[in-house]
Structure 1
Amino acid sequence: MAVPANQQVGRGSSGWAVVLRRWPSWAPYAAAVWGVAYAAVQLAWVARGIALPLGAHHAFPPAVQLVLAGLALLAAGACLAAVRARGRFARTAAGATLLVVVPVFVLGTFGAPIEFVSLIGGAGPSGAGLAHLLLDIPGAGLLLVTGLSVRRRARGRCPRCGQAHAWGSDRPLEHPAPSRASAKVQVAVYAGMSGILPWAITKTIWTLGGDALGMTAEQWRAANADGSGVTKALASVGIDFTVLAAMLAWFLMVGLMYRWGQVFPRWTLFLSGRRVPRLLPLIPAWLTGLTLALYGTGILVAFPFFFAGAGGMAWMTAFGGLAFAGLGVGLLVAACSYAARTRPACGREA
């Protein structure tokens, strides 16, 4: 069952649908509240000696937390100024401030999918690191949509849909008909997906008891003896947990490219035929894509300096960098295409 073109969500909607539809009016205030709360948490952590982890064995110095607290307060002030300022200079200054601080908190979401996979796998994420991610992710989202609405207003466009129209922004939303990604996007995404194959094949050989890259299955199990019970249970039947997680990223990428990612297919039972909320696939795609793209690219850049000539494990490191970078870039490309194809517009009729 297909969702028709120009499907409307109008004044007849109630509850959370109406609240979400009016996000340009409340998002800046919510972002300001978040900024104050974020700064308070960081200052409390510094006072209690709780540091933000940097990897498994290192932590950021307290000065970094103080800087983050200051930037959060600056972002809160910019959000309020963006909606309350009357002069052009004040609005421009607020927009420029958001342009500087938003990327900082977006980069703060780095590692979210890694923590999530660790949690599902039973390895257990770090307390302060997980708490910071849970605090940073909604704030980064609020700052992004606030900056987006400010940018649209500055260009004389509707802050909600981004289109240039004479009617108000509280009209019914018209959603485009389901569509598939262009051929160029599909080629780019599938090319990124293919980067995982050397890494996935090698790990699968080890979990099945074979030898690869000069390492036996026994050596691989010994090197991963500290894994969680879930990881070991899956490995006992020939399934590597990280490969399984990568397959979920594959599924997400495919859904972002085709129509069934915009309308729930028949196998979803009672959801069949309903429109998929845009943010349902976009949020995990953006979070995971950003982390994997940065992580994988970093491995590939560092490989010639630290891993070259190290034997079979050097190849595995290169395979991992190729897999993560490919998955990350593929997710970001697919997400950008999906966001453009599913972008709604404010309708004429109330």
Structure 2
Amino acid sequence: MVGAAPGSAHPHSGGTRPAARTRWAWAPWAALCWALGYGALRIRWAVLGPPGFGVIGTDLIGFTGWGGVALCGAAAAVALAQAAGRWHRAVEVAGWLVAALLVMACPLLLIDVVGLLLPGLGLPLDPGAFASRGACLAGAVAVAAGTRGYRSRRPGGCARCGRTGAAVRGERLPAWAWWAAYAAVAGCAARVAVQWAVGFADAPLRAGAALAVFDAGFALAGSVLPLAVVHSWGWALPSWLPLLAGRRVPHRLVLVPAFAVAGALTAYFGAGTVQLAVETATGTWTESEGLPLAFYWITMPAYLVWGLGLGAAALARHRLSRPPCPACGR
């Protein structure tokens, strides 16, 4: 059962609106500069042809050629609307949509990061493609930051935090957060189970110390991390730990990796699931590594459930543990 207690708005919240808005004033202009610069590069590649981009052969997914140019144009239009106009729901929705599409366009950045952290795995890494994907993600951050600031202009919204309505503070995590955390664990378990069924002999990663580190991180991110988000031992260390018993676990220690893993999994395997669906529907799917189509229809959604579940649980914990806004008390 979730308890809640209404709060009251800060008596000086109205006076902080102009000053608080300056906190995000830079973001739309940063997004516009990014869109013009990166967009110019995408135009050049669309006209003259892109670089080879190594083994994979592409930097972005779904937005290559003029599609990448169009995405940059959409980011520029959103940034200008946010910088110049009053709040409109369509502009805010467009901002979140463009930011999400930019993230979905660079899912291969996950492979790049893993390859950089664990070079012994033998994952392909092209510097030009890595830089382009990183730039695309930077654009997503800029657009999201601009939209975050833009939503503070909503009628009745706090200029500092953008929240509306009465201040409501729950006493414990909602039931759906627990379901989400255990769904993440189930998604990871399903991924391991299907790999167990087909065998590990043809796994694409090189064996060695790097693979052992990767497997350990994989297991922790799919079991301990989701459960730490919701269980009491993820908030305060259990009593059986010597010297550390009862010590509070910093929320960022759990939430930063939770959001990072959730975002990476959701972006990469969300894009992969969409691509798989298109190829299945159009009959263009080709067998890879000797594995059947059914294998991918289990693993891709399993990863996606893992990412979405972990992200939802982390969001619930963040909303419960965040301090009240100093401007409005929400």
Q: Shorter-chain TM-score: which interval?
A: 0.5 to 0.7
- CA–CA distance in 2 between the matches of 1:39 and 1:187? 41
* Aligned match for 2:269, one of 292, 307, 314: 292
Contact preservation (8 Å) 1:34, 1:139: yes
State the partner residue of 2:110: 113
- CA–CA distance in 1 between the matches of 2:69 and 2:105? 13
Change (3 A) 1:140 1:314: closer
State the partner residue of 1:5: none
| Aligned residues between the structures | 299
**2:329 paired with 1:337:** no
Counterparts of residues 98-177 of structure 1 (less than 5 Å): 98=95, 101-122=98-119, 123-164=123-164
Q: How far 1:70 sits from its partner (Å)? A: 4.6
State the partner residue of 2:188: 196
- CA–CA distance in 2 between the matches of 1:110 and 1:138? 13
**2:83 paired with 1:83:** yes
* Aligned match for 2:229, one of 256, 262, 266: 256
Which residue type is aligned with residue 292 of structure 1?
F
- CA–CA distance in 1 between the matches of 2:310 and 2:141? 18
- CA–CA distance in 2 between the matches of 1:256 and 1:136? 29
* Aligned match for 1:247, one of 194, 202, 220: 220
Which residue type is aligned with residue 272 of structure 2?
Y
- SS of the equivalent of 1:346 reads coil
Scaled by the length of structure 2, the TM-score of the pair is 0.66
- SS of the equivalent of 1:196 reads helix
Q: How far 1:153 sits from its partner (Å)? A: 0.9
Change (3 A) 1:242 1:53: farther
Change (3 A) 1:342 1:68: farther
State the partner residue of 1:4: none
State the partner residue of 1:8: none
Identity level (%):
20
State the partner residue of 1:282: 259
Which residue type is aligned with residue 266 of structure 2?
G
Which residue type is aligned with residue 50 of structure 2?
I
Q: Could you list the runs of 5+ residues in structure 1 that have no partner in the other structure? A: 1-19, 166-173, 206-211
- CA–CA distance in 1 between the matches of 2:280 and 2:45? 36
TM-superposition CA deviations, 1:281-327 (whole Å, max 9, x none): 4344223333234435765897797699x998566545523532331
Shifted more, 30-39 versus 133-142: the winner is 30-39
- CA–CA distance in 2 between the matches of 1:52 and 1:77? 30
Q: How far 1:190 sits from its partner (Å)? A: 1.0
Contact preservation (8 Å) 2:35, 2:139: yes
Shifted more, 66-75 versus 107-116: the winner is 66-75
